[in-house]
A and B are shown apart, each in its own frame.
Chain A
Amino acid sequence: MLGGAVVLWLVVNGAFYYMSSVRPGAVDKRYARHILIGGGIILPVFVLTALLVWGLSILPDPRRPGDGLVVRVTGEQWWWRVEYWPEGADTPVVSANEIRLPVGQRTEIHLTSDKVIHSFWIPALGGKMDMFPGRDTMISLLPERAGTYRGQCAEFCGASHAWMAFAAVALEPAEFDAWLEAEAADAVAPQDEAAQRGQEVFLNEGCGACHAVRGTPAVGLVGPDLSHVGSRKTLGAGRSSMTLQNLEAWIAHTEDLKPEVKMPSYDLTGTDLADLAHYLNGLK
């Protein structure tokens, strides 16, 4: 597509340069007529017909049934609730704010929304699909190359719409299976003293009322599941990259980083904040 655009650009501008600089002046009427009819009617008709045929031939792809795995995504203000339903599963693998897909397999993404209309869009993998409260929509995606792509909410959904993004990670099938197995497991126990203290801060501050960390008393469902938050590429639904420094900034300045978000900024400082960030970062 880009190649075609480059060729057209070169032809049009090359012709303009030729006519205006290399060979200025009047040209033979017959020659001019051929250029006009050939370049202005026949060529565009062929190019547009070819593009239309190609576009229509791939148009049904996002509606094709998947190869087994179903991912359910619910749009929240302003994050993504994600559930993986492998073929035949009774319970989902719960995650949030990141979509992982196996390369070479068509995956059905079932979409809905909590309160307002959102739109699910990973430009590198396919078109966008709206998410409506109380209605299910579906788009199926077939990643062809492993890599990390950016996903974005494409329907204005409130103050932090622009900050409602995610990373879409396409993995080789074996790698994906291993990741899904790890994602299905409970959160790892704190690995050192600082993480242990961080977990205490997490539970004492009441974070578990909104967030779940599986395998701990934190079972909240209001906000994103944090069981494996440290393994995600981004923080706050694509707001920042996942680093210790960004985790601290997020916890202490949530409302500044994501206007009108439900999570309040926490007045934590010093070791409490550092330990909490360290604990969350360790939840791989």
Chain B
Amino acid sequence: MTDDQPKRREDEAEFSEEQSSLLKITMAPTLWAAHFVICYALVAVTCAKGWDFPTVRAGLLVFSCLVVGGISLIGWRAWRQWNVSETGDFINRRGRAEDRHHFLGHAAFLLSVISVIGAIFVTLPLVFIGGCQ
């Protein structure tokens, strides 16, 4: 029983770390989704209520830059977690804890890439369309 204690603590620590990595995976797409909903909803309400569009547009552009920056940061941290530049292992198919850790970084990195592209594509209409028409 006493021999098991350190092992269990190690498992728990590992599990809690993987839990935070799992959360990290969802963060980039969540930011992208939130950015999408906020941009479209705010523009729709602005146009319906007749609010000052240039101000809302400028605010949303700043918000978009922050979102793109945030997703990029998540992507950068995921890239480091994946650590492919050092290990050279793209697939992490061995089932060790370290591989699981790298794989979650890999998945979070790819999701960050698609999320940053998505957020930029959602922002482009704001850049090019300057009115409610």
A45-B117, A52-B124, A53-B124 given; A60·B90 CB < 8 A: no
The answer to whether B90 touches A59, judged by C-beta atoms less than 8 angstroms apart, is: no
> What's the minimum C-beta distance from B63 to chain A, rounded to whole angstroms?
19
Asked if A59 contacts B117 (CB within 8 A), the reply is no
Report chain B residues within 8 Å CB of A33: 90
- Check if B133 sits within 8 Å of A52, measured CB to CB: no
Main secondary structure of the interface of B (DSSP, over half): helix
**Which of A41, A45, A48, A59 is close to B129, meaning CB atoms less than 8 Å apart?**
A59
**B121-133 vs A: 1/0 string, CB under 8 Å?**
1001101110101
Q: Return A141 CB to nearest CB of chain B, in Å.
A: 16
- B117: chain A residues at CB < 8 Å are 45
Does A26 interact with chain B (Cβ within 8 Å)?
no
Bound-state Cα–Cα, A33 to B113, Å: 17
Contacting pair A52 B129 (CB below 8 A)? no
Residues of A within 8 A of B121 (CB): 48-49, 52
**A262 contacts partner chain B, Cβ-Cβ < 8 Å:** no
Q: B128–A63 contact, CB under 8 A?
A: no
* Binary contact readout A22-64 vs B (1 if CB under 8 angstroms, 0 otherwise): 0000000000010000000100010011001100110110010
In the complex, what's the smallest C-beta–C-beta distance from A64 to chain B, in angstroms?
9
- Expressed in whole angstroms, the Cα–Cα distance for A49 and B120 within the complex equals 9
Question: Closest residue of chain B to A57, judged by CB?
Answer: B128
Look across to chain B and name the residue whose beta carbon is closest to the beta carbon of A44.
Answer: B117
Q: Which residue of A lies closest to B133 (CB)?
A: A63
Contacts of A52 in B (CB 8 A): 121, 124
Contact with A along B31-61 (1 / 0, CB 8 A): 0000000000000000000000000000000
Given contacts A45-B117, A60-B133, A63-B133, contact A53 B90 (CB under 8 A): no
| CB-based nearest A residue for B120 | A49
Residues of B contacting A63 with CB < 8 Å?
133
Bound Cα distance A52, B127 (Å)? 12
Give a binary string over B83-125; 1 marks a CB under 8 Å from any A CB, 0 the rest.
0000000100000000000000000000001000100110011
Given contacts A33-B90, A45-B117, is CB(A56)–CB(B124) below 8 Å?
Answer: yes
**What chain A residues lie within 8 Å of B125 (beta carbons)?**
56
Q: Return the chain A residue nearest B131 by Cβ.
A: A60
Q: Which residue of B lies closest to A48 (CB)?
A: B121
Determine if A56 and B90 form an interchain contact, defined as CB atoms under 8 angstroms apart.
no
Nearest A-chain residue to B128, judged by Cβ: A56
Residues of A within 8 A of B127 (CB): 56
Task: Name A54's closest neighbour in chain B (CB-CB).
Answer: B128
A-B residue pairs in contact (CB < 8 Å), sample of 11: A45-B117, A49-B120, A56-B125, A56-B127, A56-B129, A57-B128, A59-B128, A59-B129, A60-B131, A60-B133, A63-B133
In the A-B complex, the 6 residue pairs with the closest CB atoms: A56-B128, A63-B133, A57-B128, A56-B124, A52-B124, A56-B125
Chain B residues in the interface with A (C-beta under 8 A): 90, 113, 117, 120-121, 124-125, 127-129, 131, 133
Binding site for B on A (CB under 8 A): 33, 41, 45, 48-49, 52-53, 56-57, 59-60, 63
Given A57-B128, A59-B129, A60-B131; 19 other pairs, CB 8 A cutoff? A33-B90, A41-B113, A45-B117, A48-B121, A49-B120, A49-B121, A52-B121, A52-B124, A53-B128, A56-B124, A56-B125, A56-B127, A56-B128, A56-B129, A59-B128, A60-B128, A60-B129, A60-B133, A63-B133
